[in-house]
C-alpha cells in the first residue's frame, strides 16, 4: 500500500515545482519523482513574476491553446463527465475518485511537460492547474467533497471561457 502511494506523494511534492517551472521553456518540466524534488533550484530561474495571478484578457477574447493542452483537457473532461452520474447521485466512491484524480494528475504533468504557450496564457493556465490539483486532492480525501468534483467542473467551465479550444463542449451539452 505504501509503495503504491509513493508516486502520488512525490507528485504532490513536485506539483509546486511543475507550476513554478512554467511551460514553453527550453528546459523540460521535472518528472514527478525524487529527481524533480531535488532539482527545484534549477527551475527557480523560470518562475513567473505573478504565476498565481490570472492575466486579464480583453473582453470577448480567449487565450490560444496548443495540442498538448487540448489533448490533456479533453482527457480530464472525459473523466469528469464519466463520473458525473455517480457524483450527482451521491455514489462517487473512493476508487472512482482516485481514478479521476490520477487522470487529472497525469494530464496536468503531460500538459506542463509538453506545453508551448506564451507567458500570459501559460500564467492563466497555471491558475487553472492549481485549482485542478486542489480539487483532485479534495476528492481523494473525500469523494463527496464540494471542493472536489464540483471544483473540477468549475475549472472546465472557466477553461472554456478563457481558452480557445475548437470543438470544446461544456459537460452536459448535446
pLDDT digits (tens, 9 = 90+) for 129-170: 999 999 999 999 999 999 999 999 999 999 999 999 999 999
For the whole model, what pTM was predicted?
0.73
Q: Which residue has the cell 447521485?
A: 89
Q: Is the pLDDT assigned to residue 4 strictly greater than 60?
A: no
pLDDT for res 34: 34
Q: List C-alpha distances in Å: 94 to 5, 38, 170.
A: 14, 31, 25
86 compared with 45, residue with greater pLDDT: 86
User: What pLDDT, on a 0 to 100 scale, did the predictor assign at position 36?
Assistant: 33
For the chain, give the mean pLDDT: 78
Asked whether the predicted pLDDT for residue 62 surpasses 70, the reply is yes
Q: Given a cut of 60, is residue 1 above it in pLDDT?
A: no
Residue 112 pLDDT more than 70? Answer: yes
Instruction: Convert the pLDDT of each residue in 15-35 to its tens digit.
Output: 444 444 556 544 443 344 333
Amino acid at each position: 500500500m505504501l509503495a503504491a502511494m509513493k508516486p502520488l506523494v512525490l507528485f504532490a511534492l513536485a506539483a509546486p515545482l511543475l507550476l513554478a517551472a512554467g511551460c514553453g521553456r527550453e528546459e523540460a518540466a521535472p518528472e514527478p519523482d525524487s529527481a524533480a524534488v531535488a532539482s527545484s533550484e534549477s527551475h527557480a530561474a523560470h518562475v513567473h513574476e505573478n504565476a498565481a495571478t490570472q492575466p486579464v484578457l480583453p473582453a470577448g477574447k480567449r487565450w490560444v491553446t496548443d495540442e498538448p493542452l487540448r489533448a490533456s483537457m479533453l482527457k480530464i473532461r472525459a473523466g469528469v463527465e464519466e463520473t458525473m452520474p455517480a457524483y450527482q447521485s451521491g455514489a462517487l466512491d473512493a476508487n472512482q475518485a482516485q481514478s479521476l484524480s490520477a487522470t487529472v494528475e497525469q494530464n496536468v504533468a503531460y500538459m506542463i511537460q509538453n506545453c508551448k504557450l506564451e507567458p500570459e496564457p501559460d500564467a492563466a493556465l497555471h491558475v487553472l492547474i492549481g485549482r485542478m490539483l486542489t480539487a483532485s486532492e479534495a476528492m481523494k480525501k473525500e469523494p463527496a467533497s464540494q471542493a472536489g468534483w464540483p471544483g473540477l467542473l468549475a475549472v472546465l467551465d472557466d477553461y472554456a471561457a478563457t481558452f480557445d479550444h475548437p470543438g470544446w463542449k461544456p459537460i452536459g451539452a448535446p
